[in-house]
Amino acid sequence: MVRELAEAGVFGVAVPEDQGGLGMGLAAGGVIAEEVGRVIAPEPVVSTIGLSLGLLRRLCPDHPKMAQLIGGEISLAVAWQERGPDGAPADATCRYADGKLTGGKAWVVGAIGSHGFLVVAEQDDGPVLVLAEADAQGLVIDKQTQADGSSLGELSFSGTPAAELASSGAVLTALAEAVADATALAAAELVGLSERAFEITLDYIKTREQFDKPIGSFQVIQHRAVDLNVMCEVAQAGVREALAQMDSETDPKVRAPIASRAKARAVTAAKKITRDAIQLHGAVGYTDEFDIGLYLNRALVLSAWLGDDAYHRRIWFEAREAEGAAQ
Amino acid sequence: MTDWSAMTDAEFRKEVRQFFEAEYPEELRHLPHRPKFAEIEHWHRKLHAKGWVAPAWPAEFGGMGLNAAKLLIFYEEQQRWGVNRGRDMGVQMVGPLIIKFGTQEQKDYWLPRILSCEDIWCQGYSEPGAGSDLANLRTRAEIDGDDFVINGQKIWTTMAHDATHIFMLVRTDPDAPKKQQGISFLLAPMDQPGVEVRTITTLSGETEFCEVFFDNARTPRENLVGELNKGWTMAKALLSFERIFIGSPSLAQNALGQLESFARGRGAFDDPVFRDRFAQAALDVEDHAALYARFADQLKRGETLGADVSMLKIWVTECFQRITELMIEAAGPDGGSIGPLQVGNVSVDVLASFYKARPTTIYGGSNEIQRNILSKAVLGLPG
């Protein structure tokens, strides 16, 4: 499936044309992400478009891995977050010296089956982006199984050889940009997921009969369905507008809160819609016989990844305050 | 006469904005109540002299003849600057109906008087037993010689105590097989012995709503607009543009601005719980505006809006209410106080905003009715 997606140009959608991509921007990427969301595809489409290619195209657009990623020949997982002693996200301490990595990385999407890792680490004179092969020496990958059956990787490096791709402050800037892109695309994926979950539920309440009538003829069900539909439409309009704004905006300080706005909206909508979808299905919604539960599970994973709605509202508000203070 | 269609949308917006900013009386901006005509008469005269009283009417009847895109811009600018709509029932409701269904005599007689506000109109639709179920209306009009004789009662008649005429839906055929049939659209003068107006005091202490009683009131037969017993479909045909207008983001946007300056002055942003609730409300407004823009673009492309436009009204009115509730929260112990609260150099009437937000989910088709409409017309749910 990854090859088919690659042939359709999916992975290179937001990569400029002179770098071998389609140059269609995030808005087009969002349309693809919505489709991925609708079919709850487990493929790392958004993480490849947003994170892996987002980093490479900004830091080393001439690297041969770029073309391979766009062509779907390989996948590279991005390892940038770290887990602190209390289990929560913590500052980066993973070290890179003498061509070797030491330390750990957490919450790595697409780690299982990846051909290698783009690792953001620290070296003596600042941040660095390095590439570690999947089978490199001293690399241990622990699997954290997710609600939707996918896995997040917990990586530990002990003197693991890795090749430097880029260094200096530009790495963190590019990382922040790539994370913003992936955040907004994950929002679009959630929008597609929400729409499909709603359609499935709507079909169900039209056909499921109780008291000799379709349950969708009861007003209490109808009004709940309408509210979910409205929520879906608001989310789609808000997220699409946000992606388009990100395309026309270059200042990272402005783009980041736009991505937060998108993710906050999409998570709020997806949580409500997938949970209400279970309720409207009744008992069968709680079984694995029906697809609707898969949407709930996928929504849980996509919501937690890169920050949920409460987190992004906080980020959005803080950015707004900072902007207000600057004026 | 200006050919507005020759102007780009941006040029038009600039022109409208400049006129409002230069000419609209400062003391009338963002009026918290519905004014009587005398209060805004000086503004109406300016607007009339400019030929801008009826932006939606075709130019041949004295309107601006704006297309949907420019009309939307006109209203957006009006709301942005807090320009009062004035006593616009005549312009918004009666005029378009007469233009579409009236006789030449009716057009010649009524339309100029609507524009000049020589006649000031109120809308007689709702009745005590006909609110959401409007077709249940019982006010009768019977032909007697050259007149209709009207008996019954209207309610929620906005500003009837400051109107010279009423346009109304009346039952003219009580034996019609369906209650939507047998309803006619009638114009009647208010100043006559058979018409009695009583104001209704609202929760906020305002008296903009009225009851109107008809006891053998009379109106000439030529004041029937359109065909006898066809009033229901005519009145419904008018509502399409209204439905995006009633869902516009401006009420919630203005309230959000008020909330922010008030909450900031009060130090409410020190509370992380309040910060999150504010962020929720602000994003609710922003994302609604994105959806509104989608419908507005549809209009601008010349497409007809579907029933799904009702979702704008549901979202924005409920959002507006949450924002005004947050204002009360931010007011703390002043949350029950009538009148403006001073915060730094801003003065905010917290309860006035709260009260203003309450009826928005009731009027213009209650939000429950809107949900019924969406459920059937958009989602295709049965029964």
CATH number of the domain that residue A206 is part of? 1.20.140.10
CB neighbour class for A80 (10 Å; exposed up to 12, middle 13-18, buried from 19):
buried
Cα A44 from Cα A169, distance rounded (Å): 27
| Cβ-nearest to B379 among A219, A229, A265 | A229
Q: Which two tokens stand for residue B365?
A: 């088709």
The answer to whether residue A250 sits within a structural domain is yes
Q: Which residues of B touch A227 (CB under 8 A)?
A: 371
Q: Are residues A160 and A176 in the same domain?
A: no
**CA distance, residue A217 to nearest chain B CA (Å):** 5
Chosen domain end from A120, A135, A168: A168
> B166: closest CA among B155, B175, B176?
B155
* A176, A152: one domain: no
Average pLDDT score over residue span A92-107 = 96
Residue B323 above 70 pLDDT? yes
In a domain, A291, yes or no: yes
Distance (Å) from the C-alpha of residue B245 to the closest C-alpha of chain A?
17
* Residue listed under structure tokens 């500003």: B159
Residue B375 to residue A316, Cβ atoms within 8 A: no
Instruction: Report phi then psi at B201, rounded to 5.
Output: -85, 125
Tell me whether A143 touches chain B (CB under 8 Å). no
Contact A193, A38 (CB under 8 A): yes
Greater confidence (A8 vs B142) lies with B142
**Average pLDDT of the residues in B323-348:** 92
State the number of CA atoms in the 13 A half-sphere of A272 facing the CB.
Answer: 18
- CATH superfamily of the domain spanning B121-230: Butyryl-CoA Dehydrogenase, subunit A, domain 2 (2.40.110.10)
CB-CB contact of B184 with B228 (8 Å): yes
Q: Which residue has the tokens 């915060």?
A: B343
Across the interface, do A213 and B380 touch by the CB < 8 Å criterion? Answer: no
Say how many CA atoms lie within 13 Å of B103 toward its Cβ. 9
If asked whether residues A100 and A245 sit together in one domain, one would say no
Of B206, B242, B318, B325, the catalytic one is: B242
Judged by CB atoms within 8 Å, which residues 48-107 of A form the interface with B? none
pLDDT digits (tens, 9 = 90+) for A203-222: 999 999 999 999 999 999 99
| CATH code of the domain containing A99 | 2.40.110.10
Q: Please give the pLDDT value at position B241.
A: 65
Report whether B93 contacts B54 (CB < 8 A): no
Kindly state the average pLDDT of the residues A19-23: 91
Do A177 and A319 share a structural domain?
yes
Same domain, A199 and A282: yes
Cβ-defined contact of B379 to A235 (cutoff 8 Å): no
Closest in B287, B378, B381 to A238, CB measured? B287
3-state secondary structure chain A: CHHHHHHCCCCCCCCCHHHCCCCCHHHHHHHHHHHHHHCCCCCCHHHHHHHHHHHHHHHCCCCHHHHHHHCCCCCEEEECEEECCCCCEECCCCEEECCEEEEEEEEEECCCCCCEEEEEEEECCEEEEEEEECCCCCEEEEEEECCCCCEEEEEEEEEEECEEEEECCHHHHHHHHHHHHHHHHHHHHHHHHHHHHHHHHHHHHHHCEECCEEHHHCHHHHHHHHHHHHHHHHHHHHHHHHHHHHHCCCCHHHHHHHHHHHHHHHHHHHHHHHHHHHHHHHHHHHCCCCCHHHHHHHHHHHHHCCCCHHHHHHHHHHHHHHHHHHC
Query: Which residue does chain B place closest to A218, by CA atoms?
Result: B383
A315 shares its domain with A205: yes
* ipTM field: 0.94
Q: Report how many domains make up chain A.
A: 2
Q: Which domain holds residue A176?
A: 172-326
Backbone angles phi, psi at A296, to 5 degrees: -60, -45
3-class secondary structure, B37:
helix
- Percent of chain A at pLDDT exceeding 70: 100
Q: In Å, how far is B264's CA from the nearest CA of chain A?
A: 11
Fold: same for B121-230 and B238-378: no
Residue B1 clears pLDDT 70, i.e. is over it: no
Q: pLDDT digits over B168-209, tens only?
A: 999 999 999 999 999 999 999 999 999 999 999 999 888 999
A227 and A283 both lie in a single domain: yes
Given a cut of 80, whether residue B32 has pLDDT beyond it is no
- Distance from C-alpha of B365 to C-alpha of B373, rounded to nearest angstrom: 10
Is A59 inside any structural domain?
no
Q: Let me know if residue A248 belongs to a domain.
A: yes
Q: What mean pLDDT comes out for the span B125-144?
A: 94
- Residues A124, A204, single domain; the answer is no
Tell me the backbone φ, ψ of residue A294, rounded to 5 degrees. -65, -35
B67 pLDDT band, cuts 50/70/90, is: confident
Task: Show the tokens assigned to B132.
Answer: 């959401």
In a domain, A232, yes or no: yes
CATH of domain B238-378: 1.20.140.10
What is the DSSP secondary structure assignment for residue B378, as one 8-state letter? Answer: I
B242 has catalytic annotation: yes
A218 belongs to a structural domain: yes
* Inside any domain, residue A215: yes
Residues A134 and A181 in one domain: no
Is any Cβ of chain B less than 8 angstroms from the Cβ of A202? yes
Say if residue B275's pLDDT is above 80.
yes
Report chain B residues whose CB lies below 8 A from the CB of A321.
Answer: 269
Residues of A whose CB is below 8 A from B280: 313
Would you list the domain boundaries of chain B?
4-86, 121-230, 238-378
pLDDT band per the 50, 70, 90 thresholds, residue A266: very high
| Residue A133 placed within a domain | yes
State whether A140 and A196 are in the same domain.
no
What pLDDT, on a 0 to 100 scale, did the predictor assign at position B240?
Answer: 63
Q: Mean pLDDT, to the nearest integer, of A257-281?
A: 98
Residue B345 scores a pLDDT above 80: no
- Report d(CA B164, CA B132) in Å as an integer: 26
Closest by Cβ to B381, choosing from A222, A320, A321: A222
> Are A179 and A318 members of one domain?
yes
Do A144 and A191 reside in the same domain of the chain?
A: no
With CB atoms and an 8 Å threshold, state whether A233 touches B382: no
Residue A326 has pLDDT above 90, yes or no: no
A:B CB pairs within 8 Å: 92
